[in-house]
A and B are shown apart, each in its own frame.
Chain A
């Protein structure tokens, strides 16, 4: 019969084994959230300790990585909410418009050379700045999806919001980020300038259909305000944009703190 101590020790070791593989991921995201290494380390530390406290409540097949991120996100909110993070109103239609402008100007150069990497010479500082320019909510979904590879469903679980909201924020966050990167690239001369060319080449004259679409597209580009963001992906569309999730496991509704 194991002593209580031995059991606890073993459990601690089990947790360590299970949780330590995620420390780099967590740290990376924590760093992007807090923007400095000290706070990031503290955040990760606190996350692990909290997770450890709840470890005996975890069931077999728990999505451990998502759970750790969820704990971290809640810890971040608790600790940093006072500091700022007041969500500012975003006029997303303005962002759509400026995206269109910058894409029209630069797309030909961007796609011209299929072998070259985009923004090859852009400095890390500029990339970081672009990411940090996003509102926190948008930044989070972009990090979780595009850097950490979580599914929409997992992100919804981590952030405790509907999948439709995740998709809406991803759309906006990604678009904002692209727009900002393209603007930096143009401003600081990262895009190799070729001969100036319009997005629609003269060959497209034959495609009368496309020409007619142009004014319609502009009119339809009016996106709702941020507080209506869920309307962007309404119930119907959610059903259409079916997320293929073959391993539909029973995920426990875990609430932390």
Chain B
């Protein structure tokens, strides 16, 4: 696997959606290529960062109340 391929599929490697062969090739490449290893690390960290920062806002209590009320009114 060349650097160009690695760049293209890095996200999918991190998603765990590459097939076994490509996954192995990818890992092998990272062991040989500090550049690609660095990039993949950065992808991974940014993803973790975003997950944390854009993490679930809780729905406001009033929304939950509204919903419950409407659904129950519907049912009656």
Residues of A participating in the B interface, judged by any CB pair closer than 8 Å: 5, 8-9, 11-13, 15-16, 20, 23-28, 31-32, 37, 41, 44-45, 48-49, 52, 103, 107, 110-111, 117-119, 122, 124, 127, 131, 143, 145-147, 152, 167, 170-171, 174, 177-178, 181, 199-201, 204, 210, 213, 216-217, 220, 240-244
Contacts A8-B75, A107-B39; is A127 near B17 (CB within 8 Å)? no
Q: How far is the CA of A152 from the CA of B17 in the complex (A)?
A: 9
Whether the pair B34, A204 counts as a contact (CB closer than 8 A) is: yes
Chain B residues within an 8 Å CB radius of A181: 46
Which residue of A31, A48, A131 is within 8 Å of B57 (Cβ)?
A: A31
Once the chains bind, are B59 and A11 in contact (CB under 8 Å)? no
CB proximity to A under 8 Å, residues B50-76: 50-51, 53-60, 62-64, 66-68, 70-72, 74-76
CB pair B71 A15 closer than 8 Å = yes
Bound-state Cα–Cα, A178 to B56, Å: 20
Interface of A is mostly: helix
Within 8 Å CB of A117, what residues of B?
45, 49
Chain B residues contacting A200 (CB-CB under 8 Å) are 35
A200 closest partner in B (C-beta): B35
Report B-chain residues with C-beta under 8 Å of the C-beta of A110: 38, 42, 45
Q: If the complex has contacts A23-B64, A118-B49, are A45 and B70 also in contact, measured as CB distance less than 8 A?
A: yes
In chain B, what residue has the closest Cβ to A49?
Answer: B70
Are B71's CB and A16's CB within 8 A?
yes
Ordered nearest first, which 5 A-B pairs have the shortest CB separation? A12-B75, A27-B59, A118-B45, A28-B57, A23-B59
Decide if B3 touches A24 in the complex (CB within 8 Å): no
Closest chain B CB from A230 CB (angstroms): 15
Which residues from A are CB-within-8-Å of B60?
A: 27, 37, 41
Contact with A along B3-22 (1 / 0, CB 8 A): 11001110110011111001
Inter-subunit contact B71/A127 (CB<8 Å): no
Partner-A contacts on B (CB < 8 A): 2-4, 7-9, 11-12, 15-19, 22, 33-35, 38-39, 41-43, 45-47, 49-51, 53-60, 62-64, 66-68, 70-72, 74-76
Bound-complex Cα distance A20 to B39 (A):
40
Cα distance, A27 to B59, chains bound together (Å): 6
Asked whether, in the complex, the Cβ of B74 is within 8 Å of the Cβ of A49, the reply is yes
Q: Could you tell me if B42 and A103 are in contact, using CB atoms closer than 8 angstroms?
A: yes
Q: How far is the CA of A5 from the CA of B16 in the complex (A)?
A: 48
Complex A-B: 26 CB contacts under 8 Å: A12-B76, A13-B75, A16-B71, A20-B68, A23-B63, A23-B64, A24-B56, A24-B58, A27-B58, A27-B63, A28-B54, A28-B57, A48-B67, A49-B71, A107-B39, A118-B42, A122-B53, A145-B15, A181-B46, A199-B38, A201-B34, A210-B35, A213-B3, A213-B4, A216-B4, A217-B7
CA separation between A253 and B70, bound complex, in Å?
28
Structural contact, B57 and A12, CB atoms closer than 8 A: no
Given A107-B39, A241-B17, A241-B18, verify A48-B12 contact (CB < 8 Å).
no
Q: Which residues of B contact A204 (CB under 8 A)?
A: 34
Q: How far is the CB of A194 from chain B (nearest CB, A)?
A: 14
